Structure 1
Amino acid sequence: MEDVTDAGIYARESPYLERYVQLGVASGRALSVSFPEVPDEEAETAESHPILDRIFEYLDGLEEVDFDDVQVALTVPTDQRAVLEQVRTIPYGEQTDVSTLAATTPDLDPEDDDDIILVRTALDGNPAPLLIPDHRVRDGPSAAPPQIEQKLRSIEEL
């Protein structure tokens, strides 16, 4: 991945999403992705930013785009980080469910209610939806607004 060292908040309007895509970056890593109706006052309108460019290629839906090489700085508890790292392995155009996600995440048991709650909590608190594609977990919460989650699923024909 191209070096992305400029720290800051970047935003670009998406006609497809009918919202902005806002990206927080520090030390070459993505900190957050959000979809506000109006970007934060601190956000720089970015006509060109390597990660936003890739996100907009994805939103165009003309070709399969993945974000495997984008470094995401996860500042969440370790057990939630393990869940979100597992979500990143779900391939473009495929989906899973919460139980299977728990079964494939190290040290979690899909039969344990607390582990299922942990998976749901991690998905709901995902700081970088799309880069961490929680929209591919069909029966779990997404950190993206519901209308955005549906549009992301539509792109991948999920």
Structure 2
Amino acid sequence: MEVSGIYARTSPTLDRVVQVGVVSGKLISVSFPDAIPDDAEHDNAYLDAVIDAIAGEDADLGAIQIGLTVPTDQRAVLEAVRNVPRGDAVDIGVVVRMAGLDPEDDDSKRLVRETLAANPIPVVIPDHRVRDTPSGAPADVADALRRAEGI
């Protein structure tokens, strides 16, 4: 997928807009604006997969190519969270270890929390699977994802 642009549609599950940003075939953002932007297209495979995942369908989010423009330590956290399997929930200590951070260091836990709160690609990087941390998605979206996955 080499198409770049902004794509948005209303999710029937959430009854709200889901928007993705794609650059050079890589997903760079997932957001939930109040309205569909005038310049947004509607048809995109990545958008389809995100909306399907929100609906509880078994979408292959791991196949989505992502483009992260974050510092290395944040990238390690996001990549670790992306590896948490669908339907599983982990605590922050597991993410700290998966990301190669120091589990004894409070700064490591702070980094995980801050990184997940600023997650540019919620749903695809499933921060809703990490207990007791914020999500890059609005609370109702994170709750819908947990319900869809039975966690």
Q: TM-score if structure 1 supplies the norm length?
A: 0.90
Q: Deviations over 1:62-85 (max 9, x none)?
A: x42231111110011110000000
Range moving further from structure 2, 116-125 or 64-73: 64-73
> Which residue, out of 24, 28, 31, partners 1:27?
24
> Which residue, out of 54, 59, 68, partners 2:49?
54
- Residues 1-158 of structure 1: pairs in structure 2 closer than 5 A: 4-44=1-41, 46=42, 48-61=43-56, 63-106=57-100, 108-158=101-151
Query: Which stretches of structure 1, 4 residues or more, deviate above 3 A after TM superposition?
Result: none
Which amino acid counterpart does residue 22 of structure 2 have in structure 1?
Answer: V
Task: Give the deviation of 1:31 after TM superposition.
Answer: 0.7
> 1 or 2, which has the higher helix percentage?
2
Q: TM-score if structure 2 supplies the norm length?
A: 0.94
Q: Deviations over 1:39-97 (max 9, x none)?
A: 334322x1x31111222322332x42231111110011110000000000000000111
Which amino acid counterpart does residue 142 of structure 1 have in structure 2?
Answer: S
Contact kept, 8 Å, 2:53 with 2:123, in 1: the verdict is no
Which amino acid counterpart does residue 56 of structure 1 have in structure 2?
Answer: I
Task: Give the deviation of 1:29 after TM superposition.
Answer: 0.1
Which amino acid counterpart does residue 40 of structure 2 have in structure 1?
Answer: A
Which amino acid counterpart does residue 68 of structure 1 have in structure 2?
Answer: G
Task: Give the deviation of 1:36 after TM superposition.
Answer: 1.6
Which amino acid counterpart does residue 7 of structure 1 have in structure 2?
Answer: S
SS of equivalent to 2:48: helix
Task: Give the deviation of 1:104 after TM superposition.
Answer: 1.7
SS of equivalent to 1:101: helix
Return the alpha-carbon distance in structure 2 between the equivalents of residues 83 and 66 of structure 1: 21
Q: Percent same amino acid among aligned pairs?
A: 49
Task: Give the deviation of 1:110 after TM superposition.
Answer: 1.6
